[in-house]
Amino acid sequence: MRLIIMALMGASFALFGSLASARAATPINPQADMKAFQGYFLKRFPKVPLAAYVNGPYNFSKSEADQWKQIMEFPPYQFALDTGKSVFNTKFPNGKDYASCFPNGGVGIAQNYPMFDPKTGRVVTLGIAINRCRVANGLKKLKLTTGPMADILAYMTSTSDGKPINVVVPNNPKALAAYRAGKEYFYSRRGQLNFSCASCHVQEAGMHLRGNVLAPALGMTAAFPLYRSKWGNMGTLVRRFIGCNKKVHSVPAKPDSAAYRDLAYFLTYMNNGLPVSGPGARP
Protein backbone atom coordinates (compact mmCIF):
# COMPACT_ATOMS: atom_id res chain seq x y z
CA MET A 1 0.00 0.00 0.00
CA ARG A 2 2.79 2.40 0.85
CA LEU A 3 4.43 1.78 -2.53
CA ILE A 4 1.14 2.47 -4.30
CA ILE A 5 0.68 5.73 -2.41
CA MET A 6 4.24 6.83 -3.17
CA ALA A 7 3.75 5.99 -6.84
CA LEU A 8 0.56 8.03 -6.99
CA MET A 9 2.27 10.94 -5.27
CA GLY A 10 5.16 10.71 -7.69
CA ALA A 11 2.82 10.77 -10.67
CA SER A 12 0.96 13.73 -9.21
CA PHE A 13 4.18 15.66 -8.65
CA ALA A 14 5.36 14.86 -12.16
CA LEU A 15 2.10 16.13 -13.63
CA PHE A 16 2.19 19.25 -11.49
CA GLY A 17 5.82 19.84 -12.45
CA SER A 18 5.01 19.62 -16.14
CA LEU A 19 2.18 22.11 -15.69
CA ALA A 20 4.50 24.44 -13.81
CA SER A 21 7.07 24.20 -16.60
CA ALA A 22 4.41 25.04 -19.15
CA ARG A 23 3.40 28.07 -17.09
CA ALA A 24 7.00 29.25 -16.83
CA ALA A 25 7.38 29.08 -20.63
CA THR A 26 4.42 31.38 -21.28
CA PRO A 27 4.70 35.19 -21.38
CA ILE A 28 4.67 36.89 -17.98
CA ASN A 29 1.14 37.99 -17.07
CA PRO A 30 0.86 38.56 -13.31
CA GLN A 31 -2.79 39.58 -13.43
CA ALA A 32 -3.80 36.44 -15.33
CA ASP A 33 -1.72 34.35 -12.91
CA MET A 34 -3.48 35.89 -9.93
CA LYS A 35 -6.92 35.32 -11.43
CA ALA A 36 -6.12 31.67 -12.14
CA PHE A 37 -4.45 31.18 -8.74
CA GLN A 38 -7.37 32.54 -6.75
CA GLY A 39 -9.87 30.84 -9.04
CA TYR A 40 -8.25 27.46 -8.40
CA PHE A 41 -8.86 27.68 -4.66
CA LEU A 42 -12.33 29.19 -4.96
CA LYS A 43 -13.37 26.33 -7.24
CA ARG A 44 -11.73 23.67 -5.09
CA PHE A 45 -13.18 24.97 -1.83
CA PRO A 46 -16.43 26.70 -2.89
CA LYS A 47 -17.66 27.06 0.68
CA VAL A 48 -14.67 29.20 1.70
CA PRO A 49 -15.15 32.91 0.83
CA LEU A 50 -12.13 34.66 -0.68
CA ALA A 51 -11.53 36.95 2.29
CA ALA A 52 -11.64 33.99 4.70
CA TYR A 53 -8.44 32.56 3.24
CA VAL A 54 -6.47 34.89 5.49
CA ASN A 55 -7.49 32.53 8.32
CA GLY A 56 -5.35 29.77 6.81
CA PRO A 57 -5.81 26.28 8.28
CA TYR A 58 -8.71 27.35 10.48
CA ASN A 59 -11.01 27.15 7.47
CA PHE A 60 -10.50 23.38 7.33
CA SER A 61 -10.53 22.23 10.94
CA LYS A 62 -13.40 23.07 13.27
CA SER A 63 -11.48 21.95 16.36
CA GLU A 64 -8.49 24.15 15.49
CA ALA A 65 -10.82 27.03 14.63
CA ASP A 66 -12.55 26.74 18.00
CA GLN A 67 -9.19 26.71 19.80
CA TRP A 68 -8.05 29.69 17.76
CA LYS A 69 -11.13 31.73 18.68
CA GLN A 70 -10.47 31.05 22.37
CA ILE A 71 -6.81 31.96 22.04
CA MET A 72 -7.62 35.20 20.21
CA GLU A 73 -9.56 36.49 23.21
CA PHE A 74 -6.10 37.23 24.57
CA PRO A 75 -3.87 37.34 21.46
CA PRO A 76 -0.51 35.67 22.09
CA TYR A 77 1.19 38.29 19.92
CA GLN A 78 0.05 41.27 22.00
CA PHE A 79 3.49 41.55 23.57
CA ALA A 80 4.99 41.96 20.10
CA LEU A 81 2.51 44.68 19.18
CA ASP A 82 3.30 46.63 22.34
CA THR A 83 7.06 46.22 21.96
CA GLY A 84 6.97 46.95 18.24
CA LYS A 85 5.00 50.16 18.70
CA SER A 86 7.41 51.32 21.40
CA VAL A 87 10.47 50.57 19.27
CA PHE A 88 8.90 52.13 16.18
CA ASN A 89 8.26 55.39 18.04
CA THR A 90 11.65 55.55 19.78
CA LYS A 91 13.98 58.20 18.37
CA PHE A 92 17.26 57.17 16.79
CA PRO A 93 20.45 58.68 18.25
CA ASN A 94 20.36 61.28 15.44
CA GLY A 95 16.86 62.42 16.45
CA LYS A 96 14.99 60.79 13.56
CA ASP A 97 12.76 57.72 13.77
CA TYR A 98 11.30 54.92 11.65
CA ALA A 99 8.36 57.10 10.63
CA SER A 100 10.74 59.48 8.85
CA CYS A 101 11.69 56.72 6.39
CA PHE A 102 8.22 55.84 5.13
CA PRO A 103 5.25 57.45 3.41
CA ASN A 104 2.46 58.39 5.84
CA GLY A 105 4.87 57.92 8.70
CA GLY A 106 4.87 54.16 8.16
CA VAL A 107 1.23 53.85 9.19
CA GLY A 108 -1.13 51.87 6.96
CA ILE A 109 1.44 50.99 4.29
CA ALA A 110 2.17 47.29 4.91
CA GLN A 111 -0.35 46.22 2.28
CA ASN A 112 1.93 47.65 -0.44
CA TYR A 113 4.92 45.41 0.35
CA PRO A 114 6.93 43.74 -1.09
CA MET A 115 7.52 46.40 -3.74
CA PHE A 116 9.91 46.77 -6.65
CA ASP A 117 12.60 49.41 -6.28
CA PRO A 118 13.49 50.80 -9.72
CA LYS A 119 16.66 52.42 -8.36
CA THR A 120 18.25 49.13 -7.35
CA GLY A 121 16.27 46.88 -9.69
CA ARG A 122 15.38 44.61 -6.77
CA VAL A 123 12.36 43.66 -4.70
CA VAL A 124 12.18 45.25 -1.26
CA THR A 125 10.20 43.60 1.52
CA LEU A 126 8.99 45.68 4.44
CA GLY A 127 11.63 44.05 6.64
CA ILE A 128 14.39 45.02 4.25
CA ALA A 129 12.96 48.54 4.06
CA ILE A 130 13.14 48.74 7.85
CA ASN A 131 16.79 47.71 7.76
CA ARG A 132 17.48 50.28 5.04
CA CYS A 133 16.01 52.89 7.36
CA ARG A 134 18.25 51.78 10.19
CA VAL A 135 21.41 51.83 8.09
CA ALA A 136 20.53 55.26 6.70
CA ASN A 137 20.34 56.50 10.29
CA GLY A 138 23.60 54.95 11.45
CA LEU A 139 22.23 51.78 13.04
CA LYS A 140 22.97 48.11 12.38
CA LYS A 141 20.58 45.86 10.51
CA LEU A 142 18.19 43.68 12.49
CA LYS A 143 17.82 39.94 11.96
CA LEU A 144 15.02 39.47 9.44
CA THR A 145 13.47 36.33 10.92
CA THR A 146 12.48 37.08 14.51
CA GLY A 147 13.16 39.33 17.51
CA PRO A 148 12.82 43.13 17.23
CA MET A 149 12.21 42.94 13.49
CA ALA A 150 9.17 40.70 13.97
CA ASP A 151 7.90 43.09 16.66
CA ILE A 152 8.24 46.17 14.45
CA LEU A 153 6.60 44.34 11.56
CA ALA A 154 3.76 43.25 13.86
CA TYR A 155 3.03 46.85 14.77
CA MET A 156 3.36 48.25 11.24
CA THR A 157 1.22 45.44 9.83
CA SER A 158 -1.45 46.01 12.47
CA THR A 159 -1.89 49.58 11.21
CA SER A 160 -2.93 48.11 7.85
CA ASP A 161 -5.41 45.66 9.34
CA GLY A 162 -8.29 45.07 6.93
CA LYS A 163 -6.73 46.99 4.05
CA PRO A 164 -6.60 45.04 0.78
CA ILE A 165 -3.20 43.74 -0.23
CA ASN A 166 -2.02 45.83 -3.18
CA VAL A 167 1.35 44.64 -4.47
CA VAL A 168 2.30 46.15 -7.83
CA VAL A 169 4.36 44.51 -10.57
CA PRO A 170 5.23 47.41 -12.88
CA ASN A 171 5.88 47.00 -16.58
CA ASN A 172 9.61 46.98 -15.95
CA PRO A 173 11.87 44.18 -17.28
CA LYS A 174 13.62 43.71 -13.94
CA ALA A 175 10.36 43.74 -12.00
CA LEU A 176 8.84 41.17 -14.32
CA ALA A 177 12.00 39.08 -14.07
CA ALA A 178 11.80 39.16 -10.27
CA TYR A 179 8.16 38.14 -10.41
CA ARG A 180 8.98 35.26 -12.77
CA ALA A 181 11.83 34.13 -10.52
CA GLY A 182 9.48 34.09 -7.52
CA LYS A 183 6.89 32.12 -9.47
CA GLU A 184 9.46 29.58 -10.63
CA TYR A 185 10.78 29.19 -7.08
CA PHE A 186 7.24 28.55 -5.81
CA TYR A 187 6.59 25.76 -8.32
CA SER A 188 10.09 24.22 -8.45
CA ARG A 189 10.80 21.09 -6.44
CA ARG A 190 13.88 20.96 -4.23
CA GLY A 191 15.54 19.11 -1.41
CA GLN A 192 15.82 15.41 -0.69
CA LEU A 193 12.02 15.14 -0.47
CA ASN A 194 11.67 16.73 -3.91
CA PHE A 195 8.81 19.01 -2.83
CA SER A 196 7.92 22.49 -4.04
CA CYS A 197 6.06 25.18 -2.11
CA ALA A 198 3.06 24.28 -4.26
CA SER A 199 3.29 20.60 -3.35
CA CYS A 200 2.03 21.32 0.15
CA HIS A 201 0.23 24.64 -0.17
CA VAL A 202 -1.60 24.13 -3.47
CA GLN A 203 -1.88 20.40 -4.18
CA GLU A 204 -2.31 19.27 -0.58
CA ALA A 205 -3.83 22.46 0.82
CA GLY A 206 -6.47 21.74 3.45
CA MET A 207 -5.18 18.21 3.99
CA HIS A 208 -3.74 16.85 7.23
CA LEU A 209 -0.03 16.19 7.70
CA ARG A 210 1.14 14.78 11.04
CA GLY A 211 -1.84 16.22 12.85
CA ASN A 212 -1.60 19.66 11.25
CA VAL A 213 -3.67 21.14 8.45
CA LEU A 214 -1.65 22.37 5.46
CA ALA A 215 -2.56 26.01 4.90
CA PRO A 216 -3.43 27.12 1.36
CA ALA A 217 -0.98 29.46 -0.32
CA LEU A 218 -3.90 31.79 -0.95
CA GLY A 219 -4.08 34.16 2.01
CA MET A 220 -0.85 32.89 3.54
CA THR A 221 1.12 36.13 3.44
CA ALA A 222 -1.76 38.19 4.85
CA ALA A 223 -1.28 36.95 8.42
CA PHE A 224 2.46 37.54 8.79
CA PRO A 225 4.28 38.16 10.99
CA LEU A 226 2.69 35.61 13.26
CA TYR A 227 2.99 33.88 16.58
CA ARG A 228 3.36 30.12 16.32
CA SER A 229 2.84 27.87 19.31
CA LYS A 230 5.65 25.59 18.13
CA TRP A 231 8.01 28.59 17.97
CA GLY A 232 6.89 30.14 21.23
CA ASN A 233 7.47 33.58 19.72
CA MET A 234 6.91 35.76 16.68
CA GLY A 235 8.27 34.96 13.25
CA THR A 236 8.34 36.66 9.88
CA LEU A 237 7.41 35.32 6.46
CA VAL A 238 11.03 34.69 5.57
CA ARG A 239 11.41 32.63 8.74
CA ARG A 240 8.61 30.45 7.40
CA PHE A 241 10.35 30.13 4.04
CA ILE A 242 13.52 28.96 5.74
CA GLY A 243 11.60 26.48 7.88
CA CYS A 244 9.87 24.99 4.83
CA ASN A 245 13.20 24.56 3.05
CA LYS A 246 14.57 22.70 6.05
CA LYS A 247 11.53 20.43 6.20
CA VAL A 248 12.09 19.23 2.65
CA HIS A 249 15.81 18.81 3.42
CA SER A 250 16.89 21.68 1.20
CA VAL A 251 19.62 24.18 2.07
CA PRO A 252 17.88 27.50 2.85
CA ALA A 253 18.89 30.72 1.17
CA LYS A 254 19.97 33.75 3.21
CA PRO A 255 17.05 35.71 4.71
CA ASP A 256 17.76 38.75 2.53
CA SER A 257 18.43 36.74 -0.63
CA ALA A 258 16.91 37.58 -3.99
CA ALA A 259 15.29 34.13 -3.95
CA TYR A 260 13.20 34.89 -0.86
CA ARG A 261 12.50 38.49 -1.88
CA ASP A 262 11.17 37.32 -5.24
CA LEU A 263 9.20 34.46 -3.68
CA ALA A 264 7.52 36.91 -1.30
CA TYR A 265 6.82 39.22 -4.25
CA PHE A 266 5.08 36.52 -6.27
CA LEU A 267 3.19 34.95 -3.39
CA THR A 268 1.95 38.25 -1.97
CA TYR A 269 0.85 39.38 -5.43
CA MET A 270 -1.23 36.22 -5.66
CA ASN A 271 -3.01 37.45 -2.52
CA ASN A 272 -3.88 40.88 -3.93
CA GLY A 273 -7.31 42.03 -2.84
CA LEU A 274 -7.39 39.96 0.34
CA PRO A 275 -7.41 41.95 3.60
CA VAL A 276 -4.30 42.28 5.72
CA SER A 277 -4.87 40.26 8.90
CA GLY A 278 -1.46 40.30 10.54
CA PRO A 279 -0.11 39.80 13.01
CA GLY A 280 -1.56 36.33 13.18
CA ALA A 281 -1.46 33.21 15.34
CA ARG A 282 -0.96 29.61 14.23
CA PRO A 283 -0.35 26.26 15.96
Give the domain CATH number at 117: 1.10.760.10
Catalytic residue among 133, 197, 200, 244: 244
How much is the average pLDDT of 133-154? 98
pTM: 0.90
Provide the mean pLDDT of the chain. Answer: 91
pLDDT at 25: 56
- Listing DSSP states for the chain in one string gives -HHHHHHHHHHHHHHHHHHHHHHHHSPP-HHHHHHHHHHHHHHHSTTS-GGGGGGGGGGS-HHHHHHHHHHTTS-TTHHHHHHHHHHHHSPPTTS--GGGGSGGGGTT-GGG-SEEETTTTEEE-HHHHHHHHHHHTT-PPPPSSSTHHHHHHHHHHHTTTTPBP-----S-HHHHHHHHHHHHHHH--BTTTTB-HHIIIIISTT-EETTEEPPPSTTGGGG-SEEETTTTEEE-HHHHHHHHHHHTT-PPPPTT-HHHHHHHHHHHHHTTTSBP--SEEE-
pLDDT at 191: 93
Instruction: With cut-offs at 50, 70 and 90, classify the pLDDT of residue 209.
Output: confident
pLDDT at 72: 87
Among this protein's residues, is 244 annotated catalytic? yes
pLDDT at 66: 87
Domain that holds residue 161: 1-283
pLDDT at 236 over 70: yes
Tens-place pLDDT, residues 5-63 = 343 344 344 444 444 444 545 789 999 999 999 999 999 999 999 999 999 999 998 88
pLDDT at 14: 44
How much is the average pLDDT of 58-84? 90
Q: Which of 13-17, 170-174, 188-192, 276-280 has the lowest mean pLDDT?
A: 13-17
pLDDT at 6: 40
Percent of the chain scoring above 70 in pLDDT: 91
Number of domains in the chain: 1
Instruction: With cut-offs at 50, 70 and 90, classify the pLDDT of residue 1.
Output: very low
pLDDT at 199 over 90: yes
Percent of the chain scoring above 90 in pLDDT: 81
Tens-place pLDDT, residues 100-118 = 999 999 999 999 999 999 9
